[in-house]
Amino acid sequence: MKTLSNKIEGLTPLQRAFLVIEELQSKIDALDKSPKEPIAIIGIGCRYPGGVDTPEDLWHLLQQGVDAITEIPQDRWNIDEYYDPDPETSGKIYTRYGGFIEQLQEFDSSFFGISAKEANYLDPQQRLLLEVVWESLENAAVNPHQLAKTQTGVFLGIGGSDYSQIAGCDIEKINAYFASGNGNSTASGRVSYILGTTGPNLAVDTACSSSLVSFHLACSSLRNKESDLALAGGVSRIISPLIHINHSRARMLSADGRCKTFDAAADGFVRSEGCGIVVLKRLSDAVANGDNILAVVRGTAINQDGHTSGLTVPNGPSQQAVIRQALENGGVDPAQVSYVEAHGTGTSLGDPIEVGALAAVFGETHSQEQPLIIGSLKTNIGHTEAAAGIAGLIKVVLQMQHKQIAPHLHFNLPNPYINWSEFPVHVPTQVTPWQVGDKSRVAGVSSFGFSGTNAHAVLEEAPPEVKTEEISELPVQLLTLSAKTDSALTELVARYITH
């Protein structure tokens, strides 16, 4: 390929000037297009309450309208010791509920080359993260062993480590693995270390918006050519009662353990565990490689509330601004959006503010006859906090794949502080066909942190399948399976049979 210096040899000064201008204009055009370059979602891994181990499990839970909330299990803490229905009681928790993932202790450390001694000080968030990252790559048909020394970025939303409070109780037993086993930076860094990737690596904590902020950063990294492949998502596990106690003092939790989003009975959220990871590529690269494209990212944006009425108080104008910016970044008209997965924690203050912001952005392009459909996964599995945004995004991808909108739970009496007669929004309480005529399905995903940092993403359903070559249909197909141990292979076979 000729360089600019090669091209200008033998040209007149005027011709050289024109050629330089053309080269510069080409670079400017490329930079102008980069913020709007579509990103492909090519793989998903997830674990959520309700026995959800795969995206297929999550869709079944959503379609069936399952409420996955349970009483706090004994392997976390003795809820009877901490429970008191009076919110004013110090040091107590006024709810008995949460959303929990099973198998807190189970972890095959040898699979990841981690010694048993080190694994003992490894935060269960890090353990779960490693498993789900691996599963997301398998879901994307990406061989984890071939990622060494590649520009693969890792962007992880993660909050505090409950495990460090427990593992650090006996200071005499703290060893050299304590810090790396419980640090947020090492949670993301360990992923790159085990895979051998050399792209950007960031651990992000913006509270509830952490994972969607991480998703935005991953998309930006791909568009800026810092990464050629990216892993984005978040993780959250609940082991200590400390944050439950804090949130009880702040009156943030729902007493009955249900997120009653948009309902008149909304009285707070229920804390839950979860982990979600998506595998991302530039759309052009994914198409060229023949990847299975699950959905397309049109635009993302993040912003901050700044100095408002309170640090942790939701801010409507900032929510409007981040949604408008994501639409602009993706070149999407508000009229194209037919569904928004709301932050929707189920608070009497936050829900009206969020719906008001949505109405301000989409009110002129939607009507009561053609409303914007809104929902929240938190009514199914609770609030997974640092992992919440990516959970909502995965829900949207699944809805696009199945062309259906899942039912929104615990919506009986509409919140009277939301102007339902004027706001063109609709909350579905049963499985609803996602009908868009001959148009493409486009949706938004919101996530707002009580840190004041907000995020929004705009997704579009996957384009029609691109056939790179004709493949003759065979009467019988061979499915080959492999695993590191006999027991793992047996479990894998069982999963395929069930699926």
d(C-alpha 456, C-alpha 392), whole Å: 11
- Homologous superfamily of 38-461: Thiolase/Chalcone synthase (3.40.47.10)
Q: Work out the percent of the chain whose per-residue pLDDT is above 70.
A: 91
CA-nearest of 434, 424, 350 to 395 is 434
Give the tens place of pLDDT for each residue, 380-434.
Answer: 999 999 999 999 999 999 999 999 999 999 999 999 999 999 999 999 999 999 9
Catalytic residue (one of 216, 244, 366, 383)? 383
What pLDDT, on the 0 to 100 scale, is given for residue 185?
A: 93
What distance lies between CA 323 and its chain's CA centroid? 17
The pLDDT of residue 469: 43
Task: Provide, for the chain, the percentages of residues in helix, strand and coil under a 3-state DSSP scheme, each rounded to the nearest 5.
Answer: 40, 20, 45
Torsion of CA 303, 305, 311, 313, to 10 degrees: -110
pLDDT in tens, 371-386: 999 999 999 999 999 9
Average pLDDT, the chain: 91
**What per-residue confidence (pLDDT) applies to 26?**
61
Of 343, 366, 408, 426, which is the active-site residue?
343
Amino acid at 325: Q
- The whole-number pLDDT of residue 179 equals 82
User: Any catalytic annotation for residue 145?
Assistant: no
Q: Among this protein's residues, is 208 annotated catalytic?
A: yes
pLDDT tens digits for range 458-472: 999 998 875 444 444
Q: Are 277 and 233 in contact (CB under 8 A)?
A: yes
pLDDT of residue 25: 63
Which of 208, 219, 259, 275 is catalytic? The answer is: 208
Say what the pLDDT of residue 474 is. Answer: 60
Distance set, CA 456 to CA 161, 302, 450, 468, 481 (Å): 26, 7, 15, 34, 38
Tell me whether residue 466 is exposed, middle or buried, using C-beta atoms within 10 angstroms of its C-beta: 0 to 12, 13 to 18, 19 or more. exposed
Closest CA to 55 of 139, 144, 129: 139
Poorest-pLDDT segment among 100-104, 227-231, 298-302:
100-104
pTM: 0.90
Q: What confidence category does residue 497 fall into, taking pLDDT thresholds of 50, 70 and 90?
A: confident
Give the pLDDT score at 176. Answer: 84
- Quote the CA–CA distance of 254 and 248 in Å, as a whole number: 9
In this predicted structure, the answer to whether residue 283 has a pLDDT above a threshold of 70 is yes
Residue 47's pLDDT is 98
The yes-or-no verdict on residue 1 having pLDDT over 70 is no
Q: Residue 468 has what pLDDT?
A: 41
Give the model confidence (pLDDT) of 29-70 as tens digits: 554 556 689 999 999 999 999 999 999 999 999 999 999 999
Query: How far apart, in whole angstroms, are the C-alpha atoms of residue 285 and residue 38?
Result: 10
Residue 383 annotated as catalytic: yes
